[in-house]
Structure 1
Amino acid sequence: MPEPERRRRRPPVSCVLCRQRKIRCNRESPCNNCLRSRSGSCIYENPVAQLPQRTAELSLGPPESAPAKKPSSIGTSSTVPSHASASSSRATSSATPSTRPSYQAAQDVESLKYRIKQLEEQLSKAERSASLSPVQATETITSRISGTFYVHHEDRLAGQSSGAIPRSTSHKSREFGQSHWVNGLLIVRDIIAIMEPYVREETSKASMLMQKSKSLARIIKKRRAPSWPAPPSTHLPPKDIADELVDCYLRTTETVYRILHIPTFKKEYDAHWTSQSEPSTAFLVLLKLVLAIGATTYDDTFSLRASAMQWVYEAVTWLSEPGFKHRLNLQYIQISLLLLLARELVDVGPDLVWISAGTILRTSIYMGLHKDPKRLTPKMTIFVSEMRRRLWNTIIELSLQLSLTSGGPPMISLDMFDTEPPGNFDDEQLTTEDPVPRPEDSFTQTSLVIALRKTFPTRLAIAKFLNDHDSHGTYEDTLRLDAELRVSYKSISRTLHSYRTSAGPRPSQFGMDIMGIIINRHFLSLHIPFFAPSLQEAAYAYSRKVVVETSLKIWRAMVPLGTFQPSNNDDTSSPDRHDLTRLAICGSGTFNIIPLQASSLIATDLRAQLQEDETLGSSFVRQDLLAVMREAKVSALECIRAGETSIKGYFLVSVIAAQIDALMQGISKEEFPAYLIKVAEEAEETALAILEDMVTQQQQAESSGEGSEQTHSTTPSGLLEDWDFPMSDALFNFGDAEPIDWVFEGMPLQEPPLL
């Protein structure tokens, strides 16, 4: 009787460590037990994967020419874990010797299959990692017109796009995030490249005109800059003019950025004109900053620019005095915030106010404004509590908005403060005992601020998404943030429109417009990085639509139809004047940049439309967008007439409009450079004539002895080089404040009056 075939021992499928400890192994590499024990390598004695034997027999079968053999012994020299099962062993024992394949061959095949699977998984992981880890590439753009920029692109286009997304831009010693205006204007760099050969020559007319304009700008700025230091003086404009300037401030800036308690301020203001005693220096500095901000919307030409700069310089000088420890009070925060706004609007180092905003933020935290008053001791009055909430709200709002303007990270987060939004109080209510906030559907002097605060978390997320150094968001993230902001925007829009239709107090048109601009600016900044790719790729068509329509909304809010008709400019004191238009023309910084950026983006889309329809015969061009281009040239020229010394805004708008006109007229590519240069020279000549008139007026004022305080400058004024806005270093330390003998009830420290 033949000896029965001896069954081989079932190969171990657990790792060595699990077998020794006699615990269950999940058969991964490394297994769960080895990971927990941190024992190092996880070793398997029979790493060659084995499928059930019947499967192997069906797939391979025995070699026809080879005799059947007994199963060979199991190899032990591979690195792949085994997945044999008890059923496979039973299948092997029941198979006849004539149908068994070569086990070694089956093991080799299955080992290769398993190895291929491993490599495929590793490749898939590598591809996913590559798609999440962006590849950075730097593009250098150098031009005599624009200077040198380094554009840092992020090529995220593994499965997304065929073009790179700009993540930041370097210029001189500064780094600009995605929200900075220069990232939008780089879209038109092809026009600058066309003009570059013609302006690079020193003897070309365009180059000579540009150099002459820079020289005149130096002269104007040097004569305009006040002397330094500029100690505060008691000199103020006549009371009728001062009244108008205060009214300009209160009906514009104060409606959105709550800084003053209006009744208290007016009381102190009236007392200043009637009192015979020496005025408080702190109040005098605060009042002059209010006058300086109001001067930007006083008339169409910013006729009080020199006085406004003098008032700002005095405030900077006063705050720069040493010894500011005992100044840490709420009036000091009020003055600091007013100085921040005045510097940006009056053109005293507007590019650097983001840095100063960080100083105010840290100072307010040091004073505890980031903690809600009801959590502080001793208990404060409602008046003091509400003023603290208002000031903190203005601080974080300005920090966020300046983050978008400067392209820098907002440097704030929602978990760094617990201060509640301001209550729905009118200012007069706070002077009564135990005031009760009005219902949400009742409009007060704080309603706009409360509505804007509701969108703050989403807007802060957008600023971080655009400007944080480690932010590499996808287009899906962009769409998600867009949707979240639209939900918040619709909610507050319904509330604001209900105020306009109610019988009680209503928000001003300026307040409504500025709210829309602030929120729409976040939509614009969110989609601008994808605007250039959207001109070639349908995947980003939504971003193109958002950029164009939002730019149009912003432009129409700042420049309503018919703004530059002669009938609207013949009376600068007309009660129906548009304050926001004056702010855009006369002011600098944010509200001067936004319309220029919006018109440039609209022009880029117009150009793309004409190029797309170039081969389709007569083109259909949106007339509302063409109207913006015509108005943009007038607006840029009005800025120069109002005292802007840089002609490059007008120059840029003119050449962009010229390219659109050339496409509409069918000018050939060969004739286009000459046409563009001709338009550029005409624009420079027009702007140069205005600068020459400014110099002449300054000379006449000096000869007649007017404005001597403003024209004798000991501080050199830097040239507006490249695409910079004025960069005068108005960095300051916080100095002494004169206390007023007035104590808030419930406050542990003596405080000057909140104005």
Structure 2
Amino acid sequence: MTDPERRRRRLTVSCTLCKRRKIRCNRETPCSNCVRSRNGTCVYENNVTAPPRRDTGLTPERAGGFGRESNASRRSEPAFPPLPTPSSSASSPAPDVAAMQRRILALESELAGVSIKQTPTQQPPMELAPALLDPFSTQKEDTVTTTTKLAGTFHVHNENTECGIGYEGGIPRSVTHKTRVFGQSHWINGIVLFLGIPKLIESHFLCETSRAVVGIQRCKSLARTIKFQRTPAARSLPPIPDLPPKEVADTLIESYLRTVESVHRILHIPTFRRDYAALWASESPTNTVFLVQLKLVLAIGASTYDTKFSLRTSAIRWVYQAQNWLSEPAFKSRLNIQTLQISLLLLFARETTGVGEDMVWVSAGSLLRTAIHMGLNRDPSLLPTRSLFAAEMRRRLWNTILEAVVRTSLMSGGPPLLSLSDFNTAPPRNFSDEQLSDDDSTPAPDGEFTQISVAIALRATFPLRLAVAKFLNDFGAHGTYDETLRLDTELRTVYRALCHTLQGYASSSTGSTPSRFALRVVDFHMLRYQLALHVPFFGPALKVTAYAYSRTVVVENSLRLWYSVCPPSSGARGVAVVEEEEEEIGRDDLMRLAVCGSGFYCTVAIQANLLIAVELRTQVMEAASLSPPTLRPDLLAVLEDSKAWVLRRIEAGETNIKGYLMLCVVTTQIDALALGLGKDEMLRLCLEAAEESEEVCFPLLEEMVAQGRDGGGDSGIPTGLGTPEGGVEDWEFMVSWVLACMCAVLPWLTSVIGFRCAV
């Protein structure tokens, strides 16, 4: 009697959840039902327990092929067992389910341990060393903290090793001060060169009872009063037609057009002039949007109106009014070209007037996102049909927004948060402003200068300048010196091409040419990027010869940047020379902008002073001889000129006198070193220099207070100023810069002076 034929069990191909619910499974990983039910795991189990029948026709070759396929699938997808294929599911041998599940758990544990260490674009084998799995494991950082009464607490984040080249002080990568973190391009990173010196200074001649401390407190009290007087009362914030006389307004507008607008295109000049003329000719109510735009133009122009910034009070009030109007909760109605123009003008106006100038990077980020929300990052040719005017204005504004983002990133030490893949908007085309009103206009040839030519030439260097800002300030930036040298070479190449282009415009015998201001501003910007690349290695370069090239670049570029805002005087110093320099400042808009304004140009000039002071200190320390040290005359001249320059800034409305005080101390220190004086005598002379500098500055601050009490120095302009509880942001870069300057003055007190006393 033969046994009845056994009934073959079908291989389970559904996941456990679908099998339990008795629903159809699409056999994916995870399956559609598990996705809909948000099931954490979608598990497939092969529950065949009976061995395959001998008459199934399964050959050893087929069985081996299935085994190889299963192993390969398990390696590529370790979290899930391989699914059986329809052709072999009914005849394949059943794997060991328990062993497979144990293997899955082991692989998942290993995967969880290494996935957080792998970069998105590269997955190294799990058997590699942990150092290779972590791209930052070779970067050893530590934090050095210093606290002073003058500027608070600083946390300097150093990288101890770089490319195998050791440096005992480390390479500064960022600085934390109060509530902010500054990247490598921020000037404050130079403070790492002077840690430990501020306490020495305070203990020697900044005791609570000294005349120097009393003088500083008196000047600080007057400075607070001046800031309160300049801050408009809340009732005067709405935009009202409180314009200066037409003659003054005309001058301010021309000042703006020949400075900021000649490099960064924001306005359509014919349209602006037409609306401006209608404003004075019409008796109807003023358009509020244009009034806000006009006041920002006037505020920027006021910074180069004269050498004293006599319209500072009105300029600050206009900035406050524009900021208040822009902050109104009319969000959707403000998504237009005019609002973008006002936002850009407000960034420049805040820098020139000193209203939160060190926070413009935050506002620039908001402006960037607004522009992207409006589609300015997409080229107009890819959007619905627009007029030539609308398309080119969108290209121009996007180009200026890009410049604002990368420039504020460099100034603030914050990451640009932008990449070249975020936009495809083409550079502006070479149209003059008058051509934009005709849709059939043809752009001028590349070699012909128009009002947009400087912006187009500068745009060609934007990709590399953006790369420099990201290289220095992006999160986890640990740029090697080889990368620094590569970027330096590329930057010099595009710089030469840019100079060739602009010189071609300047030498043209036909048509207009770039203004002197535009050429010097472009040169200033490119030098600043070169300087920022090498400043992180400037401190190590003072002790490690491998970075000597960076030391040379920093010193020479600092000199060139300083000469851009304060050209060297010829002849001996005296009254005639000073008067000649005052007249030159009146003729040079960039020099006026650096003296009267705040922000980019002023900050870079002071940073150049700081770096030159570091170089002078190092030259003194390197002069290992019995004779007085021989210092570079051009560097000494910069320190001497910087005293007069900072004093001009105070006369123009700067309220912080510590910069002038410490520059006086610097000069005194150098003179004392040249005479070979001892430590006690040098400290006495430093104290006298500090006291004398305060005696010079105090009357200037008293005069500013008196002018504010009388209604300001704005001739013919209603001020409507009040004294609110708070004032303009109290943290200014000069406060902390003083600490760096003070540190630059006296580092030789413990080294060089000790050596000379021993000799």
Q: TM-score range by the shorter chain?
A: 0.7 to 0.9
Equivalent residue letter for 2:147: T
Query: What secondary structure does 2:167 align onto?
Result: coil
Query: What secondary structure does 2:165 align onto?
Result: coil
Query: What secondary structure does 2:256 align onto?
Result: helix
What corresponds to 2:484 in structure 1? 478
What corresponds to 1:155 in structure 2? 160
Does structure 2 conserve the Cα–Cα contact (< 8 Å) formed by 1:307 and 1:710?
Answer: no
Deviates more, 1:446-455 or 1:288-297: 446-455
C-alpha separation between the residues in 2 aligned to 1:198 and 1:124? 53
Structure 2 residues not aligned, in runs of 5+: 1-62, 81-126, 737-759
Does structure 1 conserve the Cα–Cα contact (< 8 Å) formed by 2:414 and 2:473?
Answer: yes
Structure 1 residue 485: Cα displacement: 0.8
Q: Determine which structure has more spread, i.e. the larger CA radius of gyration.
A: 1
Over 3 Å counting, the alpha-carbon distance change for 1:326 and 1:386 in structure 2 is same
What corresponds to 2:428 in structure 1? 422
* Paired residues, number: 620
What corresponds to 1:145 in structure 2? 150
C-alpha separation between the residues in 1 aligned to 2:505 and 2:467? 28
What corresponds to 1:99 in structure 2? none
Residues 1:365 and 2:375 are matched in the alignment = no
CA offset digits 1:276-308 (Å, max 9, x no partner): 222211111111110000000000000000111
Query: What secondary structure does 2:189 align onto?
Result: helix
C-alpha separation between the residues in 2 aligned to 1:409 and 1:131? 19
C-alpha separation between the residues in 2 aligned to 1:370 and 1:701? 45
Residues 1:659 and 2:665 are matched in the alignment = no
Structure 1 residue 720: Cα displacement: 3.7
Does structure 2 conserve the Cα–Cα contact (< 8 Å) formed by 1:232 and 1:318?
Answer: yes
Structure 1 residue 580: Cα displacement: 0.6
Equivalent residue letter for 1:547: V
Query: What secondary structure does 2:155 align onto?
Result: strand
Query: What secondary structure does 1:318 align onto?
Result: helix
CA offset digits 1:656-712 (Å, max 9, x no partner): 333333333323344333333332222233222211221233334489999773431
C-alpha separation between the residues in 2 aligned to 1:601 and 1:425? 42
Q: Which of 609, 613, 618 is residue 623 of structure 2 equivalent to?
A: 613
What corresponds to 2:231 in structure 1? 225
The aligned runs of 1:13-92 (5 Å cut-off) are none
Percentage of pairs with the same residue: 47
Query: What secondary structure does 1:671 align onto?
Result: helix
Residues 1:628 and 2:638 are matched in the alignment = yes
Structure 1 residue 359: Cα displacement: 1.1
What corresponds to 1:404 in structure 2? 410
Structure 1 residue 382: Cα displacement: 1.4
Q: Which of 270, 292, 297 is residue 290 of structure 1 equivalent to?
A: 297
C-alpha separation between the residues in 2 aligned to 1:463 and 1:703? 40
Structure 1 residue 630: Cα displacement: 1.1
Over 3 Å counting, the alpha-carbon distance change for 1:561 and 1:713 in structure 2 is same
Equivalent residue letter for 1:222: F
Q: Which of 679, 686, 704 is residue 694 of structure 1 equivalent to?
A: 704
Query: What secondary structure does 1:162 align onto?
Result: strand
Residues 1:594 and 2:611 are matched in the alignment = no
Structure 1 residue 629: Cα displacement: 1.1
What corresponds to 1:389 in structure 2? 395
Residues 1:534 and 2:541 are matched in the alignment = yes
CA offset digits 1:41-98 (Å, max 9, x no partner): xxxxxxxxxxxxxxxxxxxxxxxxxxxxxxxxxxxxxxxxxxxxxxxxxxxxxxxxxx
C-alpha separation between the residues in 2 aligned to 1:200 and 1:707? 43
Structure 1 residue 473: Cα displacement: 1.3
Over 3 Å counting, the alpha-carbon distance change for 1:507 and 1:195 in structure 2 is same
C-alpha separation between the residues in 2 aligned to 1:552 and 1:226? 39
Over 3 Å counting, the alpha-carbon distance change for 1:238 and 1:135 in structure 2 is same
What corresponds to 1:216 in structure 2? 222
Structure 1 residue 429: Cα displacement: 1.8
Does structure 2 conserve the Cα–Cα contact (< 8 Å) formed by 1:448 and 1:511?
Answer: yes
Q: Which of 498, 507, 516 is residue 504 of structure 2 equivalent to?
A: 498
Does structure 2 conserve the Cα–Cα contact (< 8 Å) formed by 1:224 and 1:306?
Answer: yes
Deviates more, 1:205-214 or 1:399-408: 205-214
Over 3 Å counting, the alpha-carbon distance change for 1:652 and 1:568 in structure 2 is closer
C-alpha separation between the residues in 2 aligned to 1:718 and 1:631? 29
Structure 1 residue 573: Cα displacement: 8.2
CA offset digits 1:601-660 (Å, max 9, x no partner): 112112211221241635443222222111111111111110011112223333333333
Equivalent residue letter for 2:399: N
The aligned runs of 1:228-307 (5 Å cut-off) are 228-229=234-235, 230-307=237-314
Query: What secondary structure does 1:141 align onto?
Result: strand
Residues 1:184 and 2:190 are matched in the alignment = yes
Equivalent residue letter for 2:658: K
Does structure 1 conserve the Cα–Cα contact (< 8 Å) formed by 2:351 and 2:599?
Answer: yes
What corresponds to 1:679 in structure 2? 689
What corresponds to 2:755 in structure 1? none
C-alpha separation between the residues in 2 aligned to 1:465 and 1:704? 45
Over 3 Å counting, the alpha-carbon distance change for 1:32 and 1:497 in structure 2 is farther
Deviates more, 1:214-223 or 1:623-632: 623-632
The aligned runs of 1:632-643 (5 Å cut-off) are 632-643=642-653
Over 3 Å counting, the alpha-carbon distance change for 1:32 and 1:160 in structure 2 is farther
Structure 1 residue 125: Cα displacement: 8.5
Q: Which of 323, 326, 345 is residue 338 of structure 1 equivalent to?
A: 345
Structure 1 residue 360: Cα displacement: 0.8
Equivalent residue letter for 2:613: A
Residues 1:460 and 2:463 are matched in the alignment = no
C-alpha separation between the residues in 1 aligned to 2:64 and 2:245? 95
Structure 1 residue 346: Cα displacement: 0.6
Over 3 Å counting, the alpha-carbon distance change for 1:34 and 1:282 in structure 2 is closer
Does structure 1 conserve the Cα–Cα contact (< 8 Å) formed by 2:292 and 2:342?
Answer: yes
Equivalent residue letter for 2:240: S
CA offset digits 1:554-600 (Å, max 9, x no partner): 11111123399746747978897111111001001112111111111
Does structure 1 conserve the Cα–Cα contact (< 8 Å) formed by 2:146 and 2:155?
Answer: yes
C-alpha separation between the residues in 2 aligned to 1:424 and 1:599? 39
Structure 1 residue 130: Cα displacement: 9.4
TM-score, scaled to structure 2: 0.76
Over 3 Å counting, the alpha-carbon distance change for 1:383 and 1:336 in structure 2 is same
Deviates more, 1:610-619 or 1:598-607: 610-619
The aligned runs of 1:487-526 (5 Å cut-off) are 487-504=493-510, 505-526=512-533
Report the aligned-residue RMSD: 3.1
Structure 1 residue 146: Cα displacement: 2.2
